[in-house]
Amino acid sequence: MPNKVHVKKGDTVYILSGKDRGKKGKVLKVIPKDSTVIVEGVNITTKHRKPRGRYQEGGIIHQESPIHSSNVMLVCERCKAPTKVKKDILENGQKVRICKKCNEIIDVIKEGKENE
């Protein structure tokens, strides 16, 4: 069973540790199997790519690498601060993520699409 990750694709996150500590970025991809996320413009690595085939060029490529989900913290859209996330169920049965700082609803969790 895949691990649960507290952020999902499209969230804005704050980097807590590593060489990019203090940066903010958008989550491009969540990998629940490894509990990692790929964040736009963060943890850039250099890859040397060999040309494959006649038309693909080789060269040096800069790309984002995964970082562990424990090293990122969700940024609330309303209070614009890094915050912890509380999950709750409303009276109508909807599951929601709530900002622990301002107590506002961040978004509604769709069934089966928690770590999109």
Edge-to-edge order in the sheet of strand 95-99: 85-89, 95-99, 105-109
**Domain-by-domain residue ranges, the chain?**
1-51+59-75, 80-110
Rg (alpha carbons) of the chain, rounded to whole number: 17
Q: Which CATH architecture has domain 1-51+59-75?
A: Roll (2.30)
pTM of this structure: 0.82
Cβ proximity of 79 and 102 under 8 Å: yes
**Tens digits of per-residue pLDDT, 44-89?**
999 999 998 888 888 999 999 999 999 999 999 898 999 998 888 9
**Tens digits of per-residue pLDDT, 1-54?**
668 888 999 999 999 999 999 999 999 999 999 999 999 999 999 999 999 888
